[in-house]
Structure 1
Amino acid sequence: MTTVETGVPAAAPGPSPVKGWLAVLAVTLGIFSLMTSELLPVGLLTPVGTALDVSEGTAGLMVTVPGLVAAVSAPVVTVATGRVDRRIVLVVLVGLMGAANLASAFATSFTVVLVARFLIGVSVGGFWSVAGGIALRLVPARHVARATAVIFGGVETASVLGVPTGTFLGDLSGWRTAFAAVGVLGLVSLACMLFLMPRIPAGQSLTFAALPKVFRGNAGVRVGIVLTFLVITGHFLAYTFVRPVLQDDGVGDRSIGVLLLAFGVAGICGNFIAGALVARRLRHCVMGISVVLTSGMVLLAVLDTDSLSAGAILVLWGLGYGAVPVTFQTWILDAAPDATEAATSLYVSAFNLSIALGALFGGFAVDGIGTTSVLWTGAALTLLALVVVGGARRTGSGARCVGSGARP
């Protein structure tokens, strides 16, 4: 039976800190490339839809398709490659992403774009599930926490540099240029990982059946998956269509890239703020994320915004979302310290399924009701996460969620 590692072995005794950190940076560039690729259509929905003659709601499938595929590929790739050198797995996946983006850049129909987005979903799900706990294998134990934060900083940096830069490129030179640039970046990431990462042999293994066992047998993982579903679905239901939302408020196309940049900068700040707090205030971080995201969406829905006020709201929203990856990954790792890769694959699956569902139902709402509806629906879901956290505490499952060293 096909197998995969249940936990990630500790780093080898005395690994070189310099070589380890170079490898960490290579993985970070890979995650940056992948997340930029996955989220790039957020800033380009309108021009791609116009060029390929589809509606904005249909264009949202560029986010839905890779999200759905990544939700499946996260556990499948993790299990199927369980005995393969992790460096080779990551290199192949990031190379696939680069090639798919280059194919999108030359696509003559929306169908071709969706096929390329399917391949990107395979890359994103597999790469993230393997890379989530890889810092343990690259740097000395005392550097693992910092290295993990750096790797996940690639997610936020994608929002800061990737999506806004792609949007600028799309506005200045056409959306095809933006996709081509991300494709080239993927190939650069491939080269960096190939030459800077050491061999990373697979560790101990488990069967496919052990993945649902991690979910069924661990209350903390279950709560973490529910929270991920609510927050990520709510966020992407609204954020996928932030460009048409801002356009309806009269914000000019040239300003949207700047506003997405402000969102991303705030996201990096949120990432580091949460990184400093999660060890002792994990539950409070989750509650804060729920409140901040809900507030940002509601404010954007009820206020008649201009570029300045919309920017302020997006900064608030960005602070909340920036805290999500490190907070929720920490929740999952603390809940299942002896099955980090298995638990992470389930988390990545839920994360990407939520992206897909958010974009899908957001597209239905935009086409059937109106753009503002996505803000209200998204806010309702993120607010519900606050109820789940409170319920977990009352039932006592929260203590198991927090795990080693963290306290509510």
Structure 2
Amino acid sequence: MEQQARWWAVVAVMGGIFLLVTAEQLPIGLLSQIAREMGVSEGTAGLMVTVPGVVAAFAAPLLPVAVGRMDRRVMLTALMVAMTVGSVLSALASSFVALLAARVLIGVSIGGFWAIAGGIAPRLVPEQSVPKAMTVIFGGVTAASVLGVPLGTLLGDMSNWRWVFGGLGGVSLLVGGALWLTLPALAPREPVRLGVLFRQLANRGVRVAVLTTGCVVVGHFVAYTFISPILQNISGVEQRHVGTLLLLYGAAGIIGNVVAGMKAARNPYIAVLMIPVLLVVIVASFPLLGTNPHTGVGLLMLWGAVFGSISVSIQTWILRTAPNTEAATALMAFVFNLSIGLGALLGGRVVDTTSLSTTMWAAAALFLIGVVLVGRTPSRLVNKGRIRELP
């Protein structure tokens, strides 16, 4: 009975990750609609992804430090309540500035939640079940692409983006209640301090994971933030089909997450290496091969499957190499979310000053750097490691 209860806690954490990633990326599918209503360019509207990404990046390492020995159950529940408030304020925003201000609160929730939830699996299930639990938890990331962002896009097309943000707030409150009811007391055995965070970078495995994640995630969001105009202007897809295609993109991501979860448990080095390798090929070829709806959709599905595997693959790498898994996970959450914000910001500048094709080639160049970083790392550094429990 105890183990069954712990698995319900794993599912609740997955639900939190699902909603947070949905909230962070939801403007991508609604970008054109919000830009028109708020009277800003699509490049400027991309700041709705940049702002929470940057805020989440700094919240990830600083919140665990600030709360010290606070029970992680209390912390995760409180962050979902904050997410509820931020979503409702977003729905009620009367100006673009007010909307960005509400997105700051969502960014705090994302960063703090991810920093704790990303490495929580070893404290909820036995060691042999950790890969499965991590696949479930990080399935929330791909489920957000499968259900959250596409469903939000479809609902926004049928009604209005404000109703979508408001509904997200209501569901967030329900998940906060589920976390409170299912999670056990999770007091940290050692409070995270800034010095401990920075010392993680002395470990080569953590350092490579941080740099590779930065390159891949920045590259992804340089291009993916503008996937709606990319599909419309490069592949000739009608806007009314974008929501459905994002649904299929997310479904491909779930498949990628499951396959990567099994592969990373056996060989995390290869699982991580193949991500930037495949993304270089897919994204660089998109402006050349994805010039009609059929090939554009095919490349989009491959893109979704590959990027959907990144969270579980990188986190498995971290659990195999990091001296302090909670500190390293907080550091990774910093890098991941900062990279989302920087990618959206950089992509917006490139889109506004050059072209969508140039944006995709810039993304491919960043993926190539990730290939070099992982390729120069000895595989034994990662594959011979053993999963560590949170401190």
**Length-normalised TM-score, structure 2:** 0.95
Deviations along 1:38-66, one digit per CA (max 9) or x if unpaired, are 11011011100110001000000011111
Indicate the residue corresponding to 1:404 in structure 2: 385
Equivalent of residue 99 in structure 2, options 105, 113, 118? 113
Q: Does 1:228 align with 2:209?
A: no
How much does 1:280 deviate? Answer: 2.7
Equivalent of residue 182 in structure 1, options 165, 168, 172? 168
Q: Distance in 2 between matches of 1:349 and 1:304?
A: 33
Q: Does 1:292 align with 2:278?
A: yes
Q: 1:225 to 1:370 in 2, by over 3 A?
A: same
Q: Distance in 1 between matches of 2:365 and 2:285?
A: 13
How much does 1:310 deviate? Answer: 1.8
Q: 1:16 to 1:141 in 2, by over 3 A?
A: farther
CA contact (8 A) 2:52 2:103 kept: yes
3-state SS of paired residue (2:39) = coil
Letter in 1 for 2:325: T
Q: Distance in 1 between matches of 2:182 and 2:233?
A: 46
Indicate the residue corresponding to 1:12 in structure 2: none
Indicate the residue corresponding to 1:364 in structure 2: 349
Q: Distance in 1 between matches of 2:44 and 2:282?
A: 25
Q: Distance in 2 between matches of 1:98 and 1:247?
A: 33
Identity of aligned residues (%): 46
Q: Does 1:384 align with 2:363?
A: no
Q: Distance in 2 between matches of 1:305 and 1:84?
A: 53
Q: Distance in 1 between matches of 2:87 and 2:293?
A: 31
Q: Distance in 2 between matches of 1:206 and 1:67?
A: 22
How much does 1:401 deviate? Answer: 3.5
Equivalent of residue 256 in structure 2, options 270, 279, 297? 270
Deviations along 1:95-153, one digit per CA (max 9) or x if unpaired, are 11121111111111001110111111111111011111212222333322211211111
Indicate the residue corresponding to 1:64 in structure 2: 50
Indicate the residue corresponding to 1:332 in structure 2: 318
Q: Distance in 2 between matches of 1:288 and 1:136?
A: 26
Q: Distance in 2 between matches of 1:195 and 1:342?
A: 26
Equivalent of residue 330 in structure 2, options 345, 367, 385? 345
How much does 1:306 deviate? Answer: 3.2
Indicate the residue corresponding to 1:320 in structure 2: 306
3-state SS of paired residue (1:83) = coil
Letter in 2 for 1:323: S
Q: Distance in 2 between matches of 1:400 and 1:304?
A: 38
Letter in 1 for 2:278: V
How much does 1:400 deviate? Answer: 2.4
How much does 1:403 deviate? Answer: 4.1
Indicate the residue corresponding to 1:171 in structure 2: 157
Q: Distance in 2 between matches of 1:196 and 1:184?
A: 19
CA contact (8 A) 2:132 2:261 kept: no
Q: Distance in 1 between matches of 2:46 and 2:384?
A: 38
- The aligned length equals 386
Q: 1:82 to 1:402 in 2, by over 3 A?
A: farther
Q: Distance in 2 between matches of 1:295 and 1:181?
A: 38
How much does 1:371 deviate? Answer: 1.9
Indicate the residue corresponding to 1:55 in structure 2: 41
CA contact (8 A) 2:131 2:265 kept: no
Q: Distance in 2 between matches of 1:387 and 1:202?
A: 36
Q: Does 1:78 align with 2:59?
A: no
Equivalent of residue 28 in structure 1, options 1, 7, 14? 14
Equivalent of residue 223 in structure 2, options 226, 238, 247? 238
CA contact (8 A) 1:280 1:405 kept: no
Letter in 2 for 1:16: E
